[in-house]
């Protein structure tokens, strides 16, 4: 069975829906998202937290669509083009503003669907979060164990619940180990190739309304970032798990290709 892993990452896409931070008009949202200082901060998160894991996946057979608007200001448009040229798995899609955010997400993903695939593993990825270096490989292997459950309905969610909450505030970072259910990062929605939906069509907090789900709580699989520009600034529901501070640096390196010292420096750079 051929499984395509296909993700969507929105980089300051201007649309009137699909975000928790509300704006009264398109112009107001555009001004907020395209503020040069904000874009620079998002670029730091994207390149220093999100991208290292995608660059170094142990299974490089995946596609991550980076969605933004055709009027994204320079130098960020050129930076995105350069990144997508440098990293073969990234695909840049310039989607004009659309009233219906889910339709815009579908427009971004549709050109990259593999018609030869038997199943599409759709995932969403925020530009400030991180997945472990073996996220793609583990997802393929674990889906193979439960694919009969997917075949029964043509829909299935596979969620990795063990993660780290990374909070940057006042030039400092704080890491909180957390067990979460369907947080959204490291969550894959398996659909048939002809399905009209993407991962974003389903509210990740209500997936049980639409499909069966499987959660796997080992290994450590994601980092969710919390900072002043977060769309949602809270950790959300979850349970603590123990990761002593003196072991956090090793886990960051081994699981995500990140260094604690670099994260601390980034938090200072963002002041």
Query: Could you tell me the pLDDT band of residue 21, with boundaries at 50, 70 and 90?
Result: low
Report the C-alpha gap between 257 and 210 in whole angstroms.
35
Instruction: Label the pairing between strands 63-68 and 3-10.
Output: parallel
Q: Does the pLDDT at position 19 exceed 90? A: no
Report the C-alpha gap between 26 and 229 in whole angstroms.
19
Query: Could you tell me the pLDDT band of residue 25, with boundaries at 50, 70 and 90?
Result: confident
Report the C-alpha gap between 175 and 164 in whole angstroms.
6
Report the C-alpha gap between 141 and 219 in whole angstroms.
13
Do 125 and 9 contact (CB within 8 A), yes or no? yes
Report the C-alpha gap between 43 and 22 in whole angstroms.
22
* Higher pLDDT among residues 98 and 148, named by residue: 148
> Among 19-23, 61-65, 226-230, 247-251, which stretch is predicted with the lowest mean pLDDT?
19-23
Q: What percent of the chain has pLDDT over 70?
A: 96
pLDDT (tens digit, 9 = 90+) per residue, 158-206?
999 999 999 999 999 999 999 999 999 999 999 999 999 999 999 999 9
- Architecture per CATH, domain 3-269, reads as Alpha-Beta Complex (3.90)
Report the C-alpha gap between 176 and 165 in whole angstroms.
5
Buried b (16+ CB within 10 A) or exposed e, 181-213: bbbbbbbbbbbeeebebbbbbbebeebeeebeb
Q: H-helix or E-strand containing 84?
A: helix 76-86
Is the overall model pTM greater than 0.75, yes or no? yes
Query: Could you tell me the pLDDT band of residue 233, with boundaries at 50, 70 and 90?
Result: low
Report the C-alpha gap between 228 and 17 in whole angstroms.
20
């Amino acid at each position: 069975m051929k499984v395509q892993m296909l993700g969507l990452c929105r980089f300051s896409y201007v649309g009137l829906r699909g975000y928790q931070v509300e704006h009264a008009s398109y112009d107001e949202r555009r001004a907020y998202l395209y503020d040069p200082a904000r874009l620079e901060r998002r670029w730091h998160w994207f390149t220093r937290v999100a991208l290292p894991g995608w660059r170094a996946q142990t299974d490089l057979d995946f596609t991550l669509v980076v969605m933004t608007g055709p009027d994204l200001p320079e130098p960020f448009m050129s930076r995105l083009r350069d990144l997508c040229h440098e990293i073969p798995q990234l695909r840049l899609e310039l989607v004009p503003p659309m009233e219906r955010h889910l339709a815009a997400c579908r427009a971004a993903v549709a050109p990259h669907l593999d018609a030869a695939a038997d199943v599409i593993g759709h995932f969403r990825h925020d530009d400030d979060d991180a997945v472990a270096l073996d996220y793609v490989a583990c997802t393929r292997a674990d889906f193979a164990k439960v694919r009969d459950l997917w075949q029964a309905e043509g829909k299935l969610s596979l969620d990795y619940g063990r993660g780290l909450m990374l909070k940057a505030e006042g030039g400092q970072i704080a890491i909180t180990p957390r067990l979460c259910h369907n947080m959204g990062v490291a969550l894959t929605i398996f659909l048939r190739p002809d399905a009209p939906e993407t991962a974003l069509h389903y509210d990740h907090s209500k997936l049980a309304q639409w499909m069966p789900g499987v959660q796997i709580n080992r290994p450590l699989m994601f980092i969710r970032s919390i900072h002043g520009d977060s769309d949602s600034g809270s950790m959300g529901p979850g349970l603590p798990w123990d990761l002593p501070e003196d072991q956090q640096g090793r886990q960051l390196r081994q699981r995500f290709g990140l260094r604690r010292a670099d994260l601390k420096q980034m938090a200072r750079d963002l002041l």
